[in-house]
Amino acid sequence: MARLPRLTVPGYPHHVIQRGNNRQDIVRSDADREMLLDLISENARKYQVALNAYVLMDNHFHLLLTPDATDGVPAMMQAVGRRYVRYFNDLHHRTGTLWEGRYRSTLIQSERYLLACMAYMDLNPVRAGMVNDPKLHRWSSYHHYSGQSPDRRIASHPMYWNLGNTPFAREAAYTEMVRAGVPLEQLGAITDATLHGWAMGDEAFVAELQKRTARRIARAKPGRPAGRPQEPH
C-alpha cells in the first residue's frame, strides 16, 4: 500500500521520530551526539522551525518541532539527515544508508497532548533501561525544562509557560509531571499516531484540521464506506 504523504501544517507542534536502519546505532560517541544536535539546531533556525524538545537515543531520536512554513520540517529533516550521514560515514569509515527510511511524524493538539508528548520523550531513556531517572540522561531537553541547565537550542512552547508564573514554579511543575509518568493508553496513542502519521487530538481538532488538507489525517473508522450497499446475507 502506498504511503501517505507526511502531514505538516504551520503553527502546530509535530512529534518526529528518526530511526537507524535495522535499529543500528546512529551515534557512537558524545562527539557524534554533539554533531547531531548542532545540525538539528542549525537547520531548525535555517528553516524557521522551533525546536520545542528533543531526546537522543543510541539508535533513534525524537524531536518536537513547530514550523513557520509547510515545508519547514521536511526541509530541516532532509538537511540534517544528509549532512549527518556524510559526517558519520566519513568518521566511522562506513558506507551506505544510516536511516530506516524516511522519518515518522504526527501533528499534535497542543492543549491535549503536547506536555504528555514531552514527558513521553523525556522518559524514553528510562523505558529503554538506559537510566532510572531522566535527569541522568544528558542528551534530552529535560534538563532545560526541569531547571538543571538552560539549553540555547530550545524554544519553549507556550503550554510550558502555562505551568506556572515563575521559572521555579514551571520547572517544579514540569518535573512533577514527568515523575508522575505517562499513562499506558497515552503512550500507545503517541507511538501509534507518530508511526502511522495520524493527527493526534480530539474529534473537533481533527475535523477542523482535516479542512486544511486533502490528505487523510486519521485512521479510517471500521465499517463499510458511506453509501455502499449492504451485501445480501
Whether 14 and 105 have beta carbons less than 8 Å apart is answered as yes
Residue 129: per-residue pLDDT: 95
Comparing CA positions, the residue from 184, 162, 60 lying closest to residue 114 is: 162
CB atoms within 10 A of CB 224: 9
Q: What is the pLDDT along the chain (233 residues), one digit of tens a residue?
A: 456 667 888 999 999 999 999 999 999 999 999 999 999 999 999 999 999 999 999 999 999 999 999 999 999 999 999 999 999 999 999 999 999 989 999 999 999 999 999 999 999 999 999 999 999 999 999 999 999 999 999 999 999 999 999 999 999 999 999 999 998 888 888 988 988 888 999 999 999 888 888 788 888 765 544 444 343 33
Can you give the residue ranges of every domain in the chain? 14-204
Superfamily of the domain at 14-204: Transposase IS200-like (3.30.70.1290)
pLDDT at residue 224 in the model: 47
pLDDT, position 233:
33
